[in-house]
Amino acid sequence: MNNTQIENCRKFYALAQSKLAGDTSGHSLDHILRVVNNAVLIARSEAPCDLYLIVAAALLHDVIDDKLTADPQKEHRFLEERLAEIDPSIQASVFAIIDHLSFSKNLSEKQVLSQEGQIVQDADRLDAIGAIGIARTFYYGGHVGNPMYDPELPPRTQMDAAAYRSERSTVINHFYEKLLLLESKMNTETGRRLARKRTAFMEQYLQEFFDEWNGQA
Ligand code: ADP
Ligand code: NI
């Protein structure tokens, strides 16, 4: 990255900070910074790719998320304007990534991503699984008022984006509806390797959870 690009990334960071620093659903700046870190880690072991675009998209990927903002279209327009001011040359490729990244969008229609987009998507998915993923999932479930577990409510196997978001579910069901499925959806070799370890940890955790729930541990 050249100096201008580094300076621009500082501006993208400040922008993410202004939008997400107050988040209490597991998408605050610590999530953003782990996604940047994961993305850089993956990018190092992949074929040559645009690190500036990767860091920019990772920093901005949750600024327009529909579950985090009351008016995603307004946030979209705001980000378009800010990117046009900061660096118009990166605007289209950043939106091509952050508009198509999310798990929910991919439920309704498989989204096409650039190599950089695939790396950011893997980085975001890694933060949804493993020890951090477990913590974020319970944190989010509490945030939206979902029960931790209900043996009467089976995990959903078929759902589109609207159902994924609107129907009631439980934190434990979220593991079966999304988190345990992510390993097989990883785009990169490095992402898959890291996901395998984190998924094994979640499986072990769930076993313990059920044993304790059922009074067998
Ligand atoms: P995306 O932002 O890619 O569409 P999600 O909507 O699943 O993905 O949200 C990201 C993170 O928020 C999840 O990995 C999880 O930690 C948490 N989350 C989302 N929906 C739920 C839910 N129903 N129960 C618990 N956690 C959830
Ligand atoms: Ni994210």
Residue 165 has pLDDT above 80, yes or no: no
> What domain count does the chain have?
1
Question: Per-residue pLDDT for 216 more than 80?
Answer: yes
Q: What are the strands, taking DSSP E only, across the chain?
A: none
CA–centroid distance, 2 to ligand 1, in Å, is 35
* CA–CA gap between residue 144 and residue 28 (Å, rounded): 16
Residue 146 CB less than 6 A away from ligand 1? yes
Long-range CB contacts for residues 173-176, cutoff 8 Å, separation at least 24 = 174/137, 174/141, 175/137, 175/202, 175/206
86: domain CATH number?
1.10.3210.50
Does 164 score more than 80 pLDDT? no
Average pLDDT, the chain: 94
CA angle 195–199–201, rounded 5-degree value: 125
Burial of 20 (0-12, 13-18, 19+ CB in 10 A): buried
Average pLDDT of span 148-163: 86
pLDDT band, residue 116 (cuts 50/70/90): very high
Q: What confidence category does residue 168 fall into, taking pLDDT thresholds of 50, 70 and 90?
A: confident
Residue whose CA is at the smallest distance from ligand 1 atom 16: 137
CA distance 191 to 123: 7
Residue 88 main-chain phi, psi, to 5 deg: -60, -25
Q: State how far the Cα of 214 lies from the Cα of 205, in Å rounded to an integer.
A: 14
d(CA 161, CA 67): 12
Ligand 1 centroid, distance to 179 Cα (angstroms): 9
Give the pLDDT score at 163.
78
For residue 67, the ligand closest to its alpha carbon is 1
The span from the CA of 18 to the CA of 75, in Å, is: 12
pTM assigned to the model: 0.95
Residue 57 has pLDDT above 90, yes or no: yes
Q: How confident is the model at residue 161 (pLDDT cuts 50, 70, 90)?
A: confident
CA dist., res. 53 & res. 39, Å (int): 11
The domain of 162 spans 3-214
The answer to whether the CB of 141 is under 6 A from ligand 1 is yes
Say how many Å lie between the CA of residue 177 and the centre of ligand 1: 10
At 106 the pLDDT is 81
Does position 18 have pLDDT exceeding 90, yes or no? yes
